[in-house]
Amino acid sequence: MIRRFCLLLSLAVTPFAAGCLVATTTHRLYLSPQGALTWSVLEQDVRSTESRPSDRAAEENALLDGVASQTHPTLDALRRLQPYDTSLRLLRADRPYTVLTEARFERVDAVVENLLSELRIPGKVTLQRTGDEWSLGISIDLTAMEGDEQATPLAALIEELDCYRLVLTDGRFTAAIGFAIVDGGTAVELKPEAVPTDRPARLQLSWK
């Protein structure tokens, strides 16, 4: 599947890099009408699958210590995208655990630019306003991608496409290329075929 770009914009790989912790993860990217973005990652039913109780306890205690010290892999990955604010909370303190990580950004285009730069994917991103309509354009070329996304801490954000959804906080999406408009125009999901590996691709979203 598209483990290459998928984020976008929004579960095969667990965000927990070490050991045998497993979780069900969803990404919600909340877009304001003016282009600000909040990236929210909910990790539910987090638990160790180690067979020995002592090993399970060690892995899960390491998770809890990381959340307490604000050194969670998902948070570390989001910080590389240069948010102006972040938060990390343990929503369920009993096994299996639930962790919510959020990062807030002033502009969605800057988030995508930083993401492409970190993953070493050539591309161009634009955010434009015409009257009361906004448009986000993304041109990328996976054929010229350098290296492997697994070499970066952003691998903690790479999931299967159905884990991601971009949601407008107000207004409606009016047009989309490469995205499916869902929920009455209030949200979009990236189409599986939107980012081919054998040729350049362009994605676009418009809303008002």
State the residue range of the domain holding 119: 1-208
Distance CA 15, CA 2 (A): 17
Q: Is 3 exposed, middle or buried (0-12, 13-18, 19+ CB in 10 A)?
A: middle
What is the count of structural domains for the chain? 1
pLDDT for the residue 60: 92
Question: Looking only at Cα atoms, what is the longest distance across the chain?
Answer: 61
Q: How many CA atoms lie within 13 A of 53 on its CB side?
A: 0
C-alpha 145, offset from chain centre? 19
Tokens of 194: 């939107």
pTM: 0.87
- SS3 annotation, the chain: CCCCCCCCCCCCCCCCCCCCEEEEEEEEEEECCCCCEEEEEEEEEEEECCCCHHHHHHHHHHHHHHHHCCCCHHHHHHHCCCCCEEEEEEEECCCCEEEEEEEEECCHHHHHHHHHHHHCCCEEEEEEEECCEEEEEEEECHHHCCCCHHHCHHHHHCCCHHHEEEEECCCCEEEEECEEEEHHHCEEEECCCCCCCCCCEEEEEEEC
pLDDT for the residue 3: 36
The Cβ of residue 188 has, within 10 Å, a number of other Cβ atoms equal to 25
pLDDT by residue, tens only, the chain of 208 residues: 333 333 333 333 334 444 588 999 999 999 999 999 999 999 999 999 988 999 999 999 999 999 999 999 999 999 999 999 999 999 999 999 999 999 999 999 999 999 999 888 899 999 999 999 999 999 998 887 765 545 678 888 988 888 999 999 999 999 999 999 999 999 999 998 887 778 888 999 999 9
